[in-house]
Amino acid sequence: MQPGINQVMGALLMAALVMGCDEPSGPDSERRNTHAGAAVGMRQPSRDPQGPEKSNLTATTQPDDQLNSASSPPFPAPPAASDAKTPSPNTRAPLAAALGKRPVSPAGNGKGATVSSAITPPADLLERAKNGESLAQRDLGKFYADHGQLRDAVQWYWEAASQGDAEAQRILGLAYLFGQGVVRDMEEAGNWLLLSAMQNDAIAQRELGKIFGDQWRFEESNDWLLKAALQGDAEAQRMLGMRYTIGQGVESDRQEAVKWFHQAANQGDALAQRELGKYYGELWNLQESNKWYLMAAENGDVRAQHMMGVRCTFGQGVERDLQKAGQWFLLAAEQGDAQSQYSIGLRWLRGEVGEPRDFAEAAKWFQLAAEQGLDEAQLSLGRRYAQGEGVEQDLVEAYKWVALAQEQGKVKGAGKALSEMATQMTGEQIEEARARAAAFSAKSPSPISR
């Protein structure tokens, strides 16, 4: 393991111990960098109620106060092995055997865990782990992860997971999923997560939901997300809300979506809070909308911060306050939000920040937004170059940025600006500007939707 990433990877393993993998999720953000499920060798959950994988996890796991409506999503419950809840502490991997899959040691030699010479764990913990106590083995894995020894951590997590420890199985599955301390292996990841999920581990159930979602197998995905959501997993609740919003694997049902968003939002999930802000805004219930946008913004959600800036700018559901608007825009802009960067640029251009107009500061923010593909910022930046405001006058660079804005076909005034600039430029300059624009388009991100 490279020393430069040990600490980061150790932190990820420790985060998995408590919360699993905290990724933005839902149909608009749950995609991973690879098609995770494509290589996962999990057995597909059986639909035959009389089959060997008949489920013993039913809707009885649903707390009475979890739902806001009497109806629950029409998903069949995922399967669970009959011995999943009470694995034998002395039988190695009984659940894997039930699946016909023998877990593979990360070391690949079947000899079990070894003790690292780099650090010394507490003697009593080590002794208990060596004696086969699964909880001690899991705690020893945590100890090594805390100290950046991920290979040792994974080895001890494997020892605990092989005895049926659901939490260790989930952590081991995530380790294989993201290649933390082991070679990335999607089949092993899927198998360990499945073993954990079959023991009703909510985080593992949610991660399986993501894997099936990555394969566009939304019905199976929703099965697992429901199991996690009914146990109170906020991310799974929010993902179900998105599925009902878009209609992926279920019939589109906005009220059902809002129900799940409320459950996740009440647990502090910023993305769910933002979705509620959007929902109530569409109903023109601006006070309720702002309540949820404000919660999401205070939780660091960039898009909610931008929306609070907009609401404060125009006095929508709140008192008009340009100073507060600027504060929200700045928070979002510093996190890379292009529209907020453009808004900050406009404020400097117009002198709305409590200080005199500053063209250089305006051009700086326009540049940041323009490089992300925001057409309004590209047009404004082009005009700054054309007029030499805050930057050195450069008609070629000006034409490039305005041409990029016009190419998107949404912003007004770009065509007229190009025509005016063309009268001051030679044919060679125009060709150079077009070449620069083409080079930018070839390597730049997709244009930002407004």
The residue with greater pLDDT, 79 or 201, is: 201
d(CA 113, CA 107): 8
Q: What is the mean pLDDT of residues 158-176?
A: 97
Instruction: Give per-residue pLDDT as tens, 116-149.
Output: 557 899 999 999 999 999 999 999 999 999 999 9
Asked whether residue 111 carries a pLDDT value surpassing 90, the answer given is no
d(CA 415, CA 286): 37
The residue with greater pLDDT, 272 or 44, is: 272
Asked whether residue 66 carries a pLDDT value surpassing 70, the answer given is no
Q: Give start and end residues of each alpha helix (H) in 321-394.
A: 322-334, 338-350, 359-370, 375-387
Percentage of the chain with pLDDT > 90?
Answer: 70
Query: Given this model, what pLDDT does residue 69 score?
Result: 30
Q: Give start and end residues of each alpha helix (H) in 266-335.
A: 270-282, 286-298, 302-314, 322-334
CB 449 within 8 A of CB 427: no
Q: Residues with Cβ < 8 Å from 236, sequence gap 6 or more? A: 202, 205, 206, 209, 225, 226, 228, 229
The residue with greater pLDDT, 185 or 94, is: 185
Q: At what angle do helices 414-422 and 395-408 cross, to 10 degrees?
A: 150
Q: What DSSP letter does each residue of 39-105 carry, written as one string?
A: G--PPPPP--TTSTT-----GGGS-TTS-SSS-----PPPP--TTSSS--TTSS-HHHHHTT-----
pTM of the model: 0.70
Domains of the chain (ranges, CATH numbers)? 3-257 (1.25.40.10), 336-443 (1.25.40.10)
Q: What is the mean pLDDT of residues 277-297?
A: 97
| Lowest mean per-residue pLDDT among 186-200, 346-360, 396-410 | 346-360
CB 156 within 8 A of CB 134: no
Residue with tokens 């190009």: 418
The residue with greater pLDDT, 89 or 169, is: 169
Instruction: Give per-residue pLDDT as tens, 354-372.
Output: 778 999 999 999 999 999 9
Query: Given this model, what pLDDT does residue 115 score?
Result: 54
pLDDT band at 448 (very low <50, low <70, confident <90, very high): low
Query: Given this model, what pLDDT does residue 104 score?
Result: 54
Q: What is the mean pLDDT of residues 3-7?
A: 36
Asked whether residue 80 carries a pLDDT value surpassing 80, the answer given is no
Query: Given this model, what pLDDT does residue 106 score?
Result: 66
Query: Given this model, what pLDDT does residue 42 score?
Result: 38
pLDDT band at 105 (very low <50, low <70, confident <90, very high): low
Q: Which of 9-13, 27-31, 209-213 has the highest mean pLDDT?
A: 209-213
Instruction: Give per-residue pLDDT as tens, 304-362.
Output: 999 999 999 999 999 999 999 999 999 999 999 999 999 999 999 999 877 789 999 99
> What value does the mean pLDDT of the chain take?
79
Asked whether residue 18 carries a pLDDT value surpassing 80, the answer given is no
Residue with tokens 């996190």: 335
Q: What is the mean pLDDT of residues 18-29?
A: 36
Instruction: Give per-residue pLDDT as tens, 221-230.
Output: 999 999 999 9
pLDDT band at 27 (very low <50, low <70, confident <90, very high): very low
d(CA 275, CA 294): 12
d(CA 178, CA 210): 13
- Phi and psi at residue 241, to the nearest 5°: -60, -40
Query: Given this model, what pLDDT does residue 355 score?
Result: 76
Query: Given this model, what pLDDT does residue 444 score?
Result: 75
Percentage of the chain with pLDDT > 70?
Answer: 73
